[in-house]
Amino acid sequence: MKLLGKTLKAGLVITLAVTLGATASFAQKKKAKCKDGETDQIAKYKLSKGENLDQAINASLTGKAGDPKKGLKWMTHRRLGNCIACHAVSKIAALGKPEDLSSQKKYSFHGAVGPTLDGVADRYSEGELRLIVVDIKKALPDANSIMPSFHRADGFTRVHKDCVGHVVLSAERVEDVVAYLKTLK
Amino acid sequence: MKFTKLITGAAFTAVMAISGSAIAADGKTEAVTPAKGSPLTELYSGYKFAKPGTKVMQDDEFGNPGMAWNDIGADLWNKVDGKAGKSCATCHKDAATSMKGVGARYPIYFAPMKKIMNVEDRVNTCRTKYMKAGKWKYDSNQMLGTVIYVKQQSLGMKIAVKTDGAAKAAYEAGKKFYYERRGQLDMSCAHCHEKYYGTKIRMNTLSQGQTNGFPVYRLKWQKPGSAHRRFKGCNKQVRATPFKSGSDEYMNLELYLAARGNGLVVETPAVRN
């Protein structure tokens, strides 16, 4: 009887531990949807007059230049920039190897919701590209744009609890994306 | 490879030939002209945007995986449950007669309870009020089976959901919901499904978000799911907090969406990617 009690107790402890472990990993997984290890410090920026658009952010959000290699990573990352979900970019599409489906899934399937980004650096200045990525609603006169505001954390409706206070792209990642966009001439 | 394609093609052609006239103007392949005042110039069932293999699966009554739930529903129809000792059939007799048209006109304004009801809600009302049985959860196998079985009795009928009179307020509320931006990605339903339907987002094609095939068997889910489950998925995709299945918000939206598709035909259980 005593032995049975002990076994039961041990069983209970193990079950509890497993349940807690599962809950913890589940919570972590859910958090990753919006967080992805971001520091989520929202950069303050100054709006200046643009060359082609009314407004632009001429200074880097971090004070440093971004890394175009990382920019490519965020642009194809499904939970972060995911730019190619809506915009076609020939240079990125060409990175998918014809014989390798996973590399094609990563690079080659592009959406057609927004305009192509080929030559985007010829159409907009660096400061304009930065504002377009940070907050499209401030950059374009089309108030009905479908494009998300990638570096804004307020003014939204019913944001998922995991995403409250978070931005889609951190200041550093915005700079990386801008650095990559600048190569699209 | 070519041979397989040929066979699939032949099977598809055969299916098309059998149900030929029904397919002609039901929104599956040919556009349906919506009623006056619709924001859309043409209506299309999600069938149009599904992958070719998925279409073949839906069109084959024996290959459609959603039909397994139709069988569950057919069995439950005659099964006595609850303290009143009744089954669905006790009151409604043969579903082929009594349920014909339900899938085409629901959700409705249900006067005795003064609220909008979809088929799920109607089933649960019957269960609690008349059968004295417990409620079924949305997306439980029993609920999915019963709703699919009930809607199957209207297969091919034109959707004709009422939006006037007592349903007007819910219709307007659903419409408001549809055009509201929501979530961290700041998108409304209209952004994807009205403005950009037929357009690719990465590997997938955006549909018009029509509900004429629900509950649909979704390959991604590996089982059928309610329209409310799909709404939750959409809300989460734009990083918004979803509402509960059966909530007023989703009930109003379901009514609005069904009415947006007035003129399409019932496809339940449709198969989607």
pLDDT at A22 exceeding the cut of 80: no
Give the one of B180, B196, B236 whose C-beta lies nearest to A113's C-beta.
Answer: B196
Q: Please state the three-class secondary structure of A53-71 as a single string.
A: CCEECCCCCCCCCCCHHHH
Q: Are B77 and B87 in contact (CB under 8 A)?
A: yes
All domains in chain A, ordered by first residue: 41-181 (1.10.760.10)
Q: Are B201 and B35 in contact (CB under 8 A)?
A: no
Dihedral over Cα of B250, B252, B254, B257: its sign: negative
Stretch A153-179: mean pLDDT: 93
Tokens, residue B141 = 């196998």
| pLDDT lower than 50: segments of chain B | 1-24
* Mutation target vs B (from A29, A104, A144, A156; most B CBs, 10 A cutoff): A156
Contact between chains at B184 and A105 (C-beta distance less than 8 A): no
- In angstroms, the CA A24 to CA A19 distance is 9
State residue B15's pLDDT score. Answer: 44
A157 interfaces chain B, CB cutoff of 8 Å = yes
Pick from B20, B18, B22, B11: nearest CA to B53: B11
Length of chain A: 185
Pairing of strands B271-272, B223-225: unpaired
A33 interfaces chain B, CB cutoff of 8 Å = yes
Q: Are B256 and B209 in contact (CB under 8 A)?
A: no
State residue A13's pLDDT score. Answer: 45
State residue B36's pLDDT score. Answer: 87
pLDDT tens digits along A109-138 = 999 999 999 999 999 999 999 999 999 999
Residue B235: which H helix or E strand, with range? helix B227-237
Question: Which positions of B are catalytic?
Answer: 234
Pairing of strands B216-218, B271-272: parallel
State residue B37's pLDDT score. Answer: 87
Alpha helices in chain A (DSSP H): 2-32, 68-76, 90-93, 101-107, 120-123, 126-134, 136-139, 171-181
Q: What's phi and psi for A183, nearest 5 deg?
A: -80, -10
State residue B29's pLDDT score. Answer: 82
- In angstroms, the CA B243 to CA A117 distance is 36
Residue B184: count other Cβ atoms within 10 Å of its Cβ.
26
